[in-house]
């Protein structure tokens, strides 16, 4: 039984814990769902000296975590904080009776992810994770085509993420590029979105992983380049390659090959959608596409549209009592695979924080 869900005629109060650049995307997504009753009522920060300026910038009170969780008008807490803080904050929010919508990765260890899921289930609140690529139309259409069997049996899947993040990107925040709070580099921070799409498309988690990782260019503790081969239970093989050193930064690519055809995607656009028997296809290829994705070269290039879609889904899930589109158990899959790649590459993992 879900707790703390206002009726359809009542507003749903959101609070954002963390006020970095991604918090502005959350703010826009909440505002875009005002017609469904979503409204921002507070933001949270760790430094009381900055409460006034931050509150003025967001147009709502800025509070410490304890005070934010004590507010009766807060129904949902969005976690826009460093990844290593998600577990403890999600558990605290759940114990306060608040629903949780967290940025990726949901946690940095499977133990913490499981603790978050358990805390939310015990408290009767929902846990959603903003793996927002799943909400983008081109990827949803691709998923539908695979599920309908248009590609036949998948045999080879490939993801390539030639991203660029300069040293200044890591230097501007002490937590970036650390195992303790970032949990990893090119794969955990940037690549988990595209890896999540791959697992979603395949419909299974890899049964075997081989990997190599290195820190080639950046002065950070974690990897800036990683490659891996994946073997899936159904027999399909996959490869991934991710880096943050590919100047000036390029859009990711996803390639899906099966016995009935292939789909090649770049950014949010279809490069090729070729089927052996197109007349028998169940799903029409998406028309056009977007070339606006700049996330390969600039994290600020993320469009708020997919966040907006997942906030909308979360509101609708709370109103109807169903699970959100990407819940904690589903988000755990991509975290487990990232950690599997790191283990295969001989990299350390972040300690449990819950």
Q: Which of 116, 45, 43 is nearest to 82 (CA)?
A: 45
Q: Tell me whether residue 343 is in a domain.
A: no
Kindly report whether the global pTM for this prediction surpasses the value 0.85.
Answer: yes
Residue 3 counted as domain residue: no
Q: Which pLDDT score, from 0 to 100, does residue 130 have? A: 98
Q: Answer whether residue 351 is part of any domain.
A: no
117 plus 166 within the same structural domain = no
DSSP 262-326: EEEEETEEEEEEEESSGGG-SSPPPSSEE----TTT-GGG--SHHHHHHHHHHHHHHHHTPPPSS
Q: Can you tell me the distance from the alpha carbon of 326 to that of 313, in angstroms, rounded to the nearest whole number?
A: 9
Q: b/e for 327-341, b at 16 or more Cβ within 10 A? A: bbebbbbbbebbbbb
CATH code where residue 68 lies: 3.40.50.720
Residue 158 and residue 289 in one domain: yes
Looking at the structure, tell me whether residues 50 and 104 fall in a common domain. yes
CA 238 – CA 36 distance, rounded (Å): 40
Domain with 286, as residue range(s), is 136-298+334-338
> What secondary structure letter does DSSP report for 327?
B
Bridge pairing between strands 253-258 and 261-266: antiparallel
Asked whether residue 141 falls in the same domain as residue 124, the answer is no
CATH code, domain carrying 208: 3.30.360.10
Per-position pLDDT tens, the chain of length 354: 466 566 666 899 999 999 999 999 999 999 999 999 999 999 999 999 999 999 999 999 999 999 999 999 999 999 999 999 999 999 999 999 999 999 999 999 999 999 999 999 999 999 999 999 999 999 999 999 999 999 999 999 999 999 999 999 999 999 999 999 999 999 999 999 999 999 999 999 999 999 999 999 999 999 999 999 999 998 999 999 999 999 999 999 999 999 999 999 999 999 999 999 999 999 999 875 554 555 665 666 667 899 999 999 999 999 999 999 999 999 999 999 999 999 999 998 777 777
Q: Is 121 inside a domain boundary?
A: yes
Q: Are residues 43 and 118 in the same domain?
A: yes
230 and 105 in a single domain? The answer is no
Is position 128 within any domain?
Answer: yes
Q: At 273, list the tokens.
A: 């959608």
The residues, ordered by sequence, that sit 6+ positions from 321 with a Cβ below 8 Å of its Cβ are: 2, 5
Work out how many domains the chain is built from and give that number: 2
Residue 217 located in a structural domain: yes
Per-residue pLDDT, 35: 97
Whether residue 146 sits in one domain with residue 36: no
Residue 79 lies in a domain: yes
What kind and span of H or E run contains 197?
helix 192-202
Domain contains 124:
yes
Q: Which residues pair with 111 in a beta bridge?
A: none
- pLDDT at position 10, please? 83
**What is the phi-psi region of residue 99: left when phi exceeds 0, alpha when psi lies from -120 to 50, beta otherwise?**
beta
Phi, psi of 220 (to 5 degrees): -140, 165
Q: Are residues 285 and 232 in the same domain?
A: yes
Do residues 147 and 287 both lie within one domain?
Answer: yes
Q: Are residues 250 and 144 in the same domain?
A: yes
Contact residues for 214 (Cβ-Cβ < 8 A; gap 6+): 223, 224, 225, 226
Q: How does DSSP classify residue 152?
A: -
Asked if residue 48 and residue 180 are part of one domain, the reply reads no
**What is the token pair recorded at 285?**
């290829």
CB atoms closer than 10 angstroms to residue 289: 17
User: Contact 106/81 with Cβ under 8 angstroms?
Assistant: no
Identify the pLDDT of residue 1.
46
Buried/exposed 155-180: b ≥16 CB within 10 Å, e otherwise: bebbbbbbbbbbeebbeeeeebbbbe
- Domain match, 95 and 225 both: no
Give the length of the chain: 354
């Amino acid at each position: 039984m879900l707790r703390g869900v206002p009726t359809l005629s009542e507003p749903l109060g959101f609070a954002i814990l963390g006020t970095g650049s991604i918090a502005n995307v959350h703010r826009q997504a909440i505002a875009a769902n005002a017609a469904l009753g979503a409204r921002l009522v507070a933001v949270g920060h760790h430094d009381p000296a900055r409460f006034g300026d931050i509150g003025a910038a967001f147009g709502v009170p800025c509070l410490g975590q304890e005070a934010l969780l004590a507010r009766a008008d807060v129904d949902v807490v969005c976690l826009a904080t460093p990844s290593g803080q998600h577990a403890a904050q999600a558990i605290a929010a759940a114990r306060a009776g608040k629903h949780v919508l967290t940025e990726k990765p949901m946690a940095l260890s499977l133990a913490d992810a499981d603790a978050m899921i358990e805390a939310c289930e015990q408290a009767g609140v929902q846990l959603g994770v903003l793996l927002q690529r799943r909400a983008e139309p081109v990827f949803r259409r691709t998923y539908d085509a695979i599920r309908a069997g248009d590609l036949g049996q998948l045999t080879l899947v490939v993801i390539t993420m030639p991203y660029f993040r300069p040293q200044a990107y890591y230097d501007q925040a002490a937590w970036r590029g650390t195992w303790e709070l970032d949990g990893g580099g090119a794969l955990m921070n940037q690549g988990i979105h595209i890896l999540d799409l791959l697992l979603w498309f395949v419909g299974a988690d890899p049964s075997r992983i081989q990997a190599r990782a290195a820190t080639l260019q950046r002065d950070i503790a974690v990897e800036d380049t990683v490659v891996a081969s994946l073997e899936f239970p159904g027999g399909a093989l996959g490869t991934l390659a991710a880096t943050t050193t590919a100047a000036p930064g390029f859009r990711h690519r996803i390639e899906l090959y099966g016995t009935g055809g292939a789909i090649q995607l770049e950014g949010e656009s279809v490069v090729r959608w070729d089927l052996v028997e197109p007349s028998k296809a169940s799903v029409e290829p998406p028309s056009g596409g977007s070339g606006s994705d700049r996330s390969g070269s600039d994290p600020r290039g993320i469009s708020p549209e997919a966040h907006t879609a997942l906030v909308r889904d979360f509101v609708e899930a709370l109103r109807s009592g169903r699970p959100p589109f990407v819940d904690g158990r589903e988000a755990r899959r991509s975290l487990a695979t990232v950690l599997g790649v790191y283990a295969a590459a001989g990299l350390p993992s972040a300690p449990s924080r819950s």
